Structure 1
Amino acid sequence: MPDQPDVRRIAAVVVTHNRLGLLQRLLERLDQVPGLTEVLVVDNASTDGTGEWLAGLADRDAGDDHRTVPVLGRTLAINSGGAGGFHDGLEWAMERGADLAWLMDDDGLPEAGCLTRLLAEPDLDFWGPLVVDEGDPDRLVFPIRLPGGTRVVHRLADVERAAVDGRIEGIVIPFNGVLVTRDLVERIGLPRAEFFIWGDDHEYRLRAEAAGARIATVVAARVEHPSVGDLGTPMMFGRTTYNHSPSELKAYCMARNNTVNLRDYRGWPHVLLFWLKTVWFYLLTRREPGRIALSARAAYAGLRGDFTGHRRYLR
Structure 2
Amino acid sequence: MRVAAVVVTFNRLGLLQRLVERLTDVPELTEVLVVDNASTDGTGEWLAALADDRVRVRTLTENRGGAGGFHDGLAWAMERGADLAWLMDDDGLPDEGCLATLLEHRDLDFWGPLVVDEAQPERLVFPIRLPGGTAVVHRLADVAAAARDGRIDDIVIPFNGVLVTRELVDRIGLPRAEFFIWGDDHEYRLRAEAAGARIATIVAAQVRHPSVGDLGTPMMFGRTTYNHSPSELKAYCMARNNTVNLRDYRGWPHVLLFWLKTVWFYLLTRPQPGRIALSARGAWAGLRGDFTGHRRYLR
TM (norm. structure 1) is 0.94
Matched residue, 1:5: none
Question: Whole-Å Cα distance in 1 between the matches of residues 264 and 11 of structure 2?
Answer: 35
Q: Which residue among 26, 37, 45 is the counterpart of 1:33?
A: 26
* 1:22 corresponds to: 15
Equivalent AA in structure 2 for residue 15 of structure 1: V
User: Deviations for 1:126-158, whole angstroms, at most 9, x for unmatched residues?
Assistant: 000000000000000000000000000000000
For residue 227 of structure 1, give the secondary structure of its aligned residue in structure 2: coil
Q: Name the SS for the 1:32 alignment partner.
A: coil
Take 1:47 and 1:41, find their aligned partners in 2: how far apart are those partners? 15
Which amino acid is 1:12 matched to?
A
- Structure 1 contact 107–225 (Cα < 8 Å) conserved: yes
Counterpart residue number, 2:245: 261
Look at both structures and tell me which one has the larger radius of gyration over its CA atoms.
1
Quote how far apart the aligned CAs of 1:56 are: 2.6
SS of 2:160's equivalent? coil
Amino acid in the other structure paired with 2:97? G
Match of residue 152, structure 2, among 143, 168, 172: 168
**Which of 212, 215, 225 in structure 2 is aligned with 1:231?**
215
Paired residues for 1:1-315 under 5 Å: 8-57=1-50, 60-61=51-52, 70-315=54-299
Shift of 1:32: 1.3
- Segments of 5+ residues of structure 2 without an aligned counterpart are none
Tell me, what secondary structure is at the counterpart of 1:177? strand
Q: Percent sequence identity over matched residues? A: 86
Deviation at 1:34, TM superposition (A): 1.8
Unpaired segments of 5 or more residues in structure 1? 1-7, 62-66
Measure, in 1, the Cα distance between the counterparts of 2:40 and 2:25.
Answer: 28
Equivalent-residue separation in structure 1 for 2:144 and 2:253 (angstroms): 33
CA contact 1:54–1:74 (8 Å) conserved in 2 = no
Cα deviation, residue 55, structure 1:
2.2
Q: Cα deviation per residue 1:52-110 (whole Å; 9 max; x = unaligned)?
A: 222232xx34xxxxx7xx10011100000000000000000000000000000001000
- Runs of 4+ displaced beyond 3 Å: none
TM-superposition CA deviations, 1:236-278 (whole Å, max 9, x none): 1111000000000000000000000000000000000001100
* RMSD (Å) for aligned C-alpha atoms: 0.7
Between the aligned partners of 1:55 and 1:219, the Cα distance in structure 2 is 36
2:67 is paired with a residue whose SS is helix
SS of 1:33's equivalent in the other structure is coil
SS at match of 2:114: strand
Give, in whole Å, the separation in 1 of the partners of 2:46 and 2:144: 40
Q: Is the 8 A contact 1:147 1:170 kept in 2?
A: yes
C-alpha separation in 2, matches of 1:288 and 1:42: 36
1:52 and 1:116 map into 2 onto residues whose CA distance is 31
CA distance in 1, matches of 2:74, 2:47: 18
Distance between the aligned counterparts of 2:189 and 2:107, measured in 1? Answer: 17
Deviation at 1:49, TM superposition (A): 1.3
Measure, in 1, the Cα distance between the counterparts of 2:288 and 2:100: 44
Number of equivalent positions: 299
The amino acid of 1:283's aligned partner reads L
